[in-house]
Amino acid sequence: MREFAGKVTAITGAGSGIGRALAYELARHGARLALSDIDEEAVRETAAVALGHGASETAASRVDVADRHAVQAWADETAGSFGTVNLVVNNAGVALTASVEEMDWDDFEWLMGVNFWGVAYGTKAFLPHLRRARDAHIVNISSVFGLMGIPTQSAYCAAKYAVRGFTESLRHEMRISGTGVRVTTVHPGGIRTNIARSARAAKGREVAALADEFDKVARTSPERAARVIVRGVKRNRSRIFVGPDATLIDVGQRLLGVGIEPLVRTFSGRSDLGTETPATAPRTPGAVR
């Protein structure tokens, strides 16, 4: 996609962080925006501000991406009212800090519902519409936690690895079948958004304290992340790494293989989990990438 002016772009989780910044960045390029979020007020605000940034048309909808029927209805409604869909960004996501042993099934399923199923539902719902468009691109947001395992992040890592596998397979399929639909996976490092403050944590772990730790290590602004993603889409990159930490992790992972694991444990604060004493639980810096 060489330019975004007039292109119909659907973004999930557009009420905050990367999704909101992407909406503003694409608005500046003159895109037509179909925005959704589970937080209706927040997404309406994004849509109103995006108009001021130059979006030629906006629509804001309350959509829970973990609800397959709601995502399907939104995709069909978007294609119907805008006439086509060119770019889809499956961005909505949540975070959870809990060791495998501590993790509640409800929290585990909540995270997978948003971070994995939300991406799968968005992809499958929009794909038939994208296939009909002349210029079409799908962008799924994974993470650097889709590149390596992290203590207390098993659910998040599982979802982000799943997004990566799902998206890479789709990219092959789109190329093999010659559809012209382009497919990109995004692996952000630490981005200064609300994700850690809206996160869940296992009993005994303090969300506010974890969010403070996250704020110290999340160096990249959502605006910068949006610019990097938009540039990567323009260049039709298969994978986009956002932030110097993401590039470092990608290179470190490829050079060291499992040799990176002692480093991960060191940077996570401790080499064991100590689940009986949550007060001394690992710091997991950047526990929500």
Ligand X SMILES: NC(=O)c1ccc[n+]([C@@H]2O[C@H](COP(=O)([O-])OP(=O)(O)OC[C@H]3O[C@@H](n4cnc5c(N)ncnc54)[C@H](O)[C@@H]3O)[C@@H](O)[C@H]2O)c1
**Strand 57-62 and strand 32-37: pairing?**
parallel
Q: How far is the CB of 56 from ligand X (least distance, A)?
A: 23
CB atoms within 10 A of CB 3: 11
Question: Considering only residues 8, 34, 35, 94, which one is a binding residue for ligand X as defined by CB under 6 A?
Answer: 94
Residue 121 falls in the annotated catalytic set? no
Residue 185 engages ligand X in binding (rule: CB under 6 A):
no
Q: Select from 15, 122, 151, 232 the one that contacts ligand X (CB under 6 A).
A: 15
Tokens of 269: 């604060």
122 touching ligand X, by CB under 6 A: no
CA torsion sign for 173, 69, 21, 268 is: negative
> How many residues in the shown chain lie near ligand X by CB under 6 A?
33
Gap between the Cα atoms of 261 and 247, Å rounded: 17
Confirm or reject binding of residue 190 to ligand X (CB under 6 A): yes
SS3 38: coil
The Cα angle at residue 142 between residues 149 and 177, in degrees rounded to 5: 120
What's the number of CA atoms in the CB half-sphere (13 Å) around residue 123? 25
Q: Does 38 bind ligand X (CB under 6 A)?
A: yes
Cβ at position 110, least distance to ligand X in Å: 8
Could you say which of 150, 195, 229, 233 contacts ligand X (CB under 6 A)? 195
Interface ranges with ligand X (CB under 6 A)? 12-13, 15-19, 37-39, 42, 63-66, 91-94, 114-115, 141, 143, 188, 190-191, 193-195, 198, 218, 288-289
